[in-house]
Amino acid sequence: MRVLVLGGDGYLGWPTAMHFSARGDEVAIVDNFAKRQWELEEGIEPLAAIPPLHRRVRRWKEISGNDIALMVGDLCNHRFVYKVIREFKPDAIVHYGEQPSAPYSMQDRTTAVYTQTNNIEGTMNVLFAMRAHCPDAHLVKLGTMGEYGTPNIDIEEGWLELEHNGRKDRVLFPKRPGSFYHLSKVHDSANIEFTCRIWDMRATDLNQGVVYGIETDQTVLHPDLETSFHYDDVFGTVLNRFLVQAAIGCPLTVYGKGGQTRGFLNIKDTIQCVALAVDNPADRGDFRVFNQFTEQFSVLQLAEMVVAAAKRNGQDTQIDHLENPRVELEDHYYNAKHSKLVDLGLRPNLLTEAVLDAMYQTVCRHVDFVDRNVMNPRIQWSSEKADR
């Protein structure tokens, strides 16, 4: 297959590109390195330095013998997007190429507007280019479970069978996003569903939970092939932050009571899920939605698991409850369905003690590079920061 990976320099994009290349697909990746620029602007960096993408691509060819084509450009430049899709003619497009941080989107007016315009315009350009040059291709779009929010009913996989005043219909599940980032994903979903319905496109929307993990089958082959690990308050995830805090002997910072419950999955399962979606494409006209996660945990549960992992590895740490900088329910019902990918063959890698211990030990090898100044929350959801 010809697989185009948008956002191929990222935490998920790079391992995804290597996975498809390793199995013999023809792979091209697109990136404009905006994420690296955002990191510079925020004064943060991954736990371990990540080589330039050009070097990663060269190293991959040396090790695997396989080429990955690299195309540098911005998805918000429609001429660039049309050129890439016209020349590469992908069978499948895996779309990670968006601003991925809820805190970044809530920082101020500038970052909120940028997140919306960058994410929505880029996806619209991809949709129009597909219609013009590869209308039979399958779009696999990385969405987020955060689109749903925390409704007081079971979360279905994208669609809801509704009965109202004696009549029935099938509608997209109601969305209650918690940040401008998550709201941009809601707009993406609506736009993609529209093009499937009106233009007879084919797409799979992967509403992904929080991803953890550092290693895939390809990233372990050479240090140049490793992917990024963020633990900071802007681009980091909660489990990464807890592991780093435990490794340096700091209290684990739980926002509020810690009852916030979300879906989680291993990075290896992200790769599995994307491959399953690519290998089992949606039909023409079908907007297919999969809830992509394997387990549900509360923030406090994760903190307690990391405390136990640190103790098993000879480090005592404790939990510190901070005032929650976000506007979110801390006590809520959460039951999200996630069976469709399992039906296609997903075999989950669960968050076992062994997995946690391995991640903790990896973090411990890099403690000299930890920046202690970037873990406490600096962005308040409800602040009235001046426009910029």
**One of 35, 185, 268, 340 is an active-site residue; which one?**
185
Average per-residue pLDDT for the chain: 97
Mean pLDDT of 351-378: 97
Position 45, amino acid? E
pLDDT tops 70 at residue 326: yes
Mean pLDDT of 317-340: 97
What is the band of 76 on the pLDDT scale with cuts at 50, 70, 90?
very high
CB 380 within 8 A of CB 323: no
227 is annotated as an active-site residue:
no
Residue 387 lies in a domain: no
Residue 217 lies in a domain: yes
CB atoms within 10 A of CB 279: 13
pLDDT tops 80 at residue 383: no
Number of structural domains, the chain? 1
Task: Tell me what pLDDT residue 388 has.
Answer: 57
**One of 104, 181, 231, 255 is an active-site residue; which one?**
181
Residue 388 lies in a domain: no
Residue 383 lies in a domain: no
Judged by DSSP in three states, 260 sits in coil
Instruction: Round to whole Å and give the CA distance between 23 and 356.
Output: 28
181 is annotated as an active-site residue:
yes
Residue 381 lies in a domain: no
CB 176 within 8 A of CB 150: yes
CB 250 within 8 A of CB 303: no
Range of the domain at 360: 2-374
pLDDT tops 90 at residue 298: yes
Mean pLDDT of 125-144: 98
Mean pLDDT of 108-130: 98
Instruction: Round to whole Å and give the CA distance between 95 and 143.
Output: 9
Partners of residue 92 on adjacent β-strands: 3, 138
pLDDT tens figures, 227-238: 999 999 999 999
Judged by DSSP in three states, 30 sits in strand
Strands (E), 252-314: 252-255, 261-266, 287-292, 295-298
Closest by CA to 103, choosing from 167, 182, 217, 17, is 182
185 is annotated as an active-site residue:
yes
pLDDT tops 60 at residue 242: yes
Instruction: Round to whole Å and give the CA distance between 73 and 366.
Output: 32
Structure tokens at 360: 């903790």
Flag whether the pTM goes above 0.85.
yes
What is the band of 387 on the pLDDT scale with cuts at 50, 70, 90?
low
Query: Tokens 């809601």 belong to which residue?
Result: 186
Between 387 and 100, the higher pLDDT residue: 100
Task: Tell me what pLDDT residue 385 has.
Answer: 61
Residue 386 lies in a domain: no
Closest by CA to 187, choosing from 199, 202, 208, 205, is 205
Residue 284 lies in a domain: yes
What is the band of 41 on the pLDDT scale with cuts at 50, 70, 90?
very high
Domain containing residue 113: CATH number: 3.40.50.720
**One of 144, 216, 253, 294 is an active-site residue; which one?**
144
